[in-house]
Structure 1
Amino acid sequence: MSQYRRLLLILESVARPSSALSRASALAEASGAAIHIVTCGGPYSTVWLMDKAVQEHMHVDFMKGQEAHLKEVAEPLRAKGLQVTTEVLWTEDPVGELIRHVKELPADLVIKDTHHEPALKRAFMTPLDWQLLRECPVPVNLVTFAEQPLPRKVVAAVDLSQPESQIGGVNERILAAANDLALQSNAELHLLHAYENSPAYLTYAAGPVGWSKELQDELTGLLRANFNQFAEKHGVPEKRRHVVLGSPIRVISDFAGREHMDVVVMGTLNRKGLEKVLGSTAEQALYQVPSSILAVRPPTEG
């Protein structure tokens, strides 16, 4: 059964090898989904200083060049029998335009490259990446590399330290998105929860109490029981359940590298104030996790 009907692939305006293209092509072949490929450009911040004729010339040149580029990209995919459409967007609001496309197509999954910088062991995120993580209503796969264009191992990184009702059902959405991708790719599905032994992280206590080793062990036991109950509910085999002590970013990064995960599925929330500046766990993970990220927002947001 197909998990996807339409994929939205966002390509950069500069032609270069694209792992996101490989991922989209492989998923489309596996699912029969159509691919809509877009590339975005727009006026520079100083364009108002330019003559109107120069502005129009820039616009026309960009559109012609990108249309030719996308035609070249699409032809090999169509030769495989895939349904592919292309579009060049010239806009001052790329995020708004892309979100509108997601809703109008409608798209089931957005796929985009995020470049890995080997020397720094970091991913390079554009402002567009950050905004898509925060605002896109469907899962977003930011691909740093695709040694396996069709994922072979997928891990859902959940946070069960808070009641599901308080975080908008995001854990359910994370696992659903991970399961969709795993089913479509015939990949192994793993479930991971990282936890820290601190009163702020484990929220099961009914009220203010002394923080002793006995209480710590009791709360950890409750968390593990809750995790296993969640895994049982969704049919995750015991050998693919992982509860690991440590900070979420470090645990997820180490686990993804050690277990050779192709995709880590995580939740992201709209942030305000200081939290928005610091970024969500998913946003920070892009700098450290040695695999692609599939980011999911809770259904209650926007």
Structure 2
Amino acid sequence: MEKLKKILVIVDPDNDKDHVIDRAILLGFYYRASVVLVMNKANVLAQEESTQSGLTARFFSSQKQKFQEHYQDRLDALQQRVEAQGIEARSVFTSDKNASEALLKLIDSEQPDLVLKSVQKPGRLARILITNTDWRLVKNCPTPLLLVKAQPWVEDGCVMASVDPMHAKAQQNALDHLLLETTASLARAMQLNTRVFHCYFPDLSAMFPKVTDAEVYIRKVRQQHRDRLLELIHEHHIDEQNLVMTRGDVAKTLTHAIKREKANILVLGALSRNVVEQAIVGSTAEKILYDTPCDVLVMKHKSQPA
């Protein structure tokens, strides 16, 4: 992500205090990138208009126009806010019933280098609810997708990549390199710190019945993981003091690491649609996407089809 020329921002039509605009301004400023503000809000009045005639039809037509003007005015105000920071911006409003399809078509036509979208944490009664639009974007967005949380960035924070250098698949290894390239680039461009996270979980079942050697085995596994991690990060000129290694539950230790290291962005990789789908359905990935106290950047390998 050395060259970030165009940022597409999906604006929430029902949230007046959308933090995604703040992120767009920061990224647009540091990268000198243009910003495209996109909003989709389905208009049920359009359906009513097509089934009416005479005065009733004209009433629905006028209400439909007011509906579009209302949201376009909101977009125009946001565009002016972005432009006031010296950033080139324009806006697009759509009223498609299928929000995810409309947004994916716009992304395909605009060809941005990065897509931003806010995610709202549901209340306690509907905890970790993945909306259809969010899911479709995570699954099908062909460009890097930054899921923005409703909180400000920390000034002395970091960009943290989560990698798995022990994976045997070549595609996973290539993805790890992409994650580190992106993390280092973002941190450098926005004058933030760089961190690399990895969690390992020793398979103690391999030790039985030699339980007494468990500690030795765990130290050996830790050293194997650390050696591979050092080999990986040194290729990207990242110092080992920026390495964060944990053991145990991934979601729990990752959340602790994010808070301790003051991460503003967590950079994650997705290998393919099937892998992403299996992961997102699982509770671990849901917690990572929605419970981590920072923004999440979802990356796909460059050679991976959209």
Q: Once the 2 structures are TM-superposed, how far is the Cα of residue 194 of structure 1 from its aligned partner? A: 0.9
Report the residue type matching 2:149 in the other structure: T
Contact 1:270 1:276 in 2 (8 A): no
Report the residue type matching 1:240 in the other structure: N
Deviations 1:234-274 (A, max 9, x none): 11111101111112111111111122111111123423798
SS of equivalent residue, structure 2 residue 290: coil
Q: Which residue of 1 aligns with 2:251?
A: 249
Query: Which segment drifts farther, 69-78 or 283-292?
Result: 283-292
- Structure-1-length-normalised TM-score: 0.83
Please state if 1:73 is matched with 2:75. Answer: no
Query: Which segment drifts farther, 264-273 or 86-95?
Result: 264-273
Please state if 1:275 is matched with 2:272. Answer: no
Q: Which residue of 2 aligns with 1:4?
A: 4
Return the structure number with greater helix share: 2
Larger C-alpha radius of gyration, 1 or 2? 2
Q: Once the 2 structures are TM-superposed, how far is the Cα of residue 169 of structure 1 from its aligned partner? A: 2.7
Q: Once the 2 structures are TM-superposed, how far is the Cα of residue 218 of structure 1 from its aligned partner? A: 3.5
Contact 1:157 1:264 in 2 (8 A): yes
Q: Which residue of 1 aligns with 2:294?
A: 291
Q: Which residue of 2 aligns with 1:218?
A: 220
Contact 1:139 1:177 in 2 (8 A): no
Please state if 1:139 is matched with 2:144. Answer: yes
Say if 1:150 and 1:31 are closer, same or farther in 2 by CA, change over 3 A.
farther
- Structure-2-length-normalised TM-score: 0.82
Q: Once the 2 structures are TM-superposed, how far is the Cα of residue 90 of structure 1 from its aligned partner? A: 1.8
Q: Which residue of 2 aligns with 1:190?
A: 195
Aligned length: 293
Deviations 1:204-229 (A, max 9, x none): xxxxx766635554343222211110
Report the residue type matching 1:180 in the other structure: S
Mind listing any 5+ residue stretches in structure 1 that lack a counterpart?
201-208
Mind listing any 5+ residue stretches in structure 2 that lack a counterpart?
none
How is 1:9-20 mapped onto 2 (pairs within 5 angstroms)? 9-20=9-20
Identity %: 19
Query: Which segment drifts farther, 142-151 or 286-295?
Result: 142-151
Say if 1:51 and 1:121 are closer, same or farther in 2 by CA, change over 3 A.
closer
Q: How many angstroms apart in 1 are the aligned matches of 2:264 and 2:128?
A: 15
Query: Which segment drifts farther, 56-65 or 99-108?
Result: 56-65
Q: Once the 2 structures are TM-superposed, how far is the Cα of residue 170 of structure 1 from its aligned partner? A: 2.2
